[in-house]
Structure 1
Amino acid sequence: MKIAICGKGGSGKSTVAALLAREYARRNRAVLVVDTDESNLGLHRLLGTGAPPDLMGYFGGKRAVTEKIMAAMPDPSSVDLIGERWSIDKIPQGYVASENGVRLVAIGKIHDAGEGCACPMGMLARQFLDHLDLGDDDVVIADTEAGIEHFGRGVDQGADVILMVVDPSFESLRLAEKVSDMAARIGVPLCCMLNRTDPISAARLRERIPDSVRIVCEISQDPGILAAGLDGRVLDLHHPAITALADLLDGTQKGRA
């Protein structure tokens, strides 16, 4: 199963990705977290791993990948950057960090001012996810960048389900409308979870989120989660909402099989 996690910046995507990954690891599932956000520098800390080298380096680095894409113009979609299919166990080990049953791969990061756009990372992320061959119990969790650019890059098209994290903000509500439309257009089921809520904000979100968006769970303001995020500590909490979410996502996958 491939799960794409999306939402506005600061909504808690990485927190949810880490909590969900740990939940599936406790169930003895093979779990791979794919960091497709070129600006996220802290996901590995939440998972308790070191920061893996950019997978972009396996393919010669950003410059080499960019040159390969540019050489294929005006049809960059014809470029096959990977050229082979991988199972989770066959991903080059030098580019995988792991801890307590969770593996982490980072597609690529922006390291220097003026180095250029992140488009090569987006293409590699889409192809990497598309080239993964999964067993029946394997779980891939893609933590996407803030907003909707990953939809434009096609990263979500190969997902079995899109999970949107919605926090109490007007921007999240507007984004939910757009994501609902985009998920429907690519034919991938969408569900959403409310995050960092209190009873008042949760009620208002439920009133205003479009009827087309299925709300599946909620995590209220949690001091323990907040403190771990601020300190960059491992998120290894057994949260009942995440347990219920994993059960539901498994059911969604079985329903599509």
Structure 2
Amino acid sequence: MGSGGDGLKALLCGKGGCGKSTLTALIARSLSDRGCKVLVIDNDESNFGLHRQLGLELPDDLLNFMGGKKDLIGKMMEAFPKGEKLTLFDQKWEIPTIPQGYVSRKDNLSLMAVGKIHEFGEGCACPMGALAKQLIQNIDLGDDDFVLVDTEAGIEHFGRGVEEGCDVLFMVVDPSYESIRLSEKISELAAKAGKQLYYILNRAEGAGREILCCGISEDRIISTVPIHESIFKAGLMGDEFLTSVPEVDVIADFLIELRSK
């Protein structure tokens, strides 16, 4: 079911603070340890820590490859009133051919950052959404390749159509009322987008897991990830995640199996 070859593109979403970035990094590490080549696309304009969790340098914003936010907004303003399709790439990229400077690499792991908010008053993140959508569609994957997309909090990425180029969606659900309510909306949006949606329960144990499962179909829950002290500490210190997490390995195995279908 993968996009381009037999690879697979997966997107993680959820409310702010639910653990999307942490789980993205852990899943990427688990897939990499299994010999898979993994490209992580950082599509959260306010997250400045994912690269440290992966043990990588933060690459330059891909937005700058496109001439910067101002130029991209100009292209969007020119295309949309005419009803023209905005086209940002003139050729497909494979993971090894991503332009240097806009990707960080180590072993089987690669990282791209769509764009970050750097300055006060610089404007909205709309150009990042448009660029992320086309970037995901533009990546061609080999047999053992995976793309993991870490999104900003909430559901704006659905409005921008970022999910269009992905094969499967994961919602990270934490034990909160807001997460339960958001899961209902994301389920609705995923269905309208024609995408498979699965759930990862994070920091949900005991009674918390029971309450969450009341509103989420059990057969759509891939894994329940408890609090791991070593991961919590590494995240707090901005250190690379080096510890294997069995509950995350389950997610990596699921993705590998899904890729082969």
Q: TM-score, normalised by structure 1?
A: 0.95
Instruction: Give per-residue Cα distances to partners, 1:81-105, cap 9 Å, x unaligned.
Output: 1221101111001111122421000
Matches of 2:237 and 2:66, distance apart in 1: 33
Residue 227 (str. 1) matches residue 213 (str. 2): no
Matches of 1:245 and 1:69, distance apart in 2: 37
Residue 109 (str. 1) matches residue 116 (str. 2): yes
Aligned to 2:155: 148
Matches of 2:219 and 2:149, distance apart in 1: 20
Matches of 2:248 and 2:255, distance apart in 1: 10
Matches of 1:165 and 1:137, distance apart in 2: 24
Residue 82 (str. 1) matches residue 89 (str. 2): yes
User: For structure 1, which runs of at least 5 residues remain unmatched after alignment?
Assistant: none
Instruction: Give per-residue Cα distances to partners, 1:237-257, cap 9 Å, x unaligned.
Output: 2111111111112222333xx
Q: Is the 8 A contact 1:35 1:104 kept in 2?
A: yes
Q: Is the 8 A contact 1:166 1:173 kept in 2?
A: yes
Residue 119 (str. 1) matches residue 121 (str. 2): no
Q: Is the 8 A contact 2:105 2:111 kept in 1?
A: yes
Q: Is the 8 A contact 2:37 2:109 kept in 1?
A: yes
Residue identity matched to 1:168:
P
> Per-residue deviation at 1:220?
0.9
> Per-residue deviation at 1:197?
2.0
Closer, same or farther in 2 for the Cα pair 1:128/1:75, shift >3 Å? farther
Residue 244 (str. 1) matches residue 250 (str. 2): yes
Matches of 1:152 and 1:81, distance apart in 2: 19
Please give the secondary structure, in 2, of the residue aligned with 1:217: strand
> Per-residue deviation at 1:27?
1.1
- Residue in structure 2 matching 1:45, options 34, 48, 52: 52
User: For structure 2, which runs of at least 5 residues remain unmatched after alignment?
Assistant: 1-7
Aligned to 2:220: 214
Q: Is the 8 A contact 1:190 1:213 kept in 2?
A: no
More divergent stretch after superposition (226-235 vs 71-80) = 71-80
> Per-residue deviation at 1:150?
0.5
Matches of 2:76 and 2:88, distance apart in 1: 9
Q: TM-score, normalised by structure 2?
A: 0.94
Please give the secondary structure, in 2, of the residue aligned with 1:197: coil
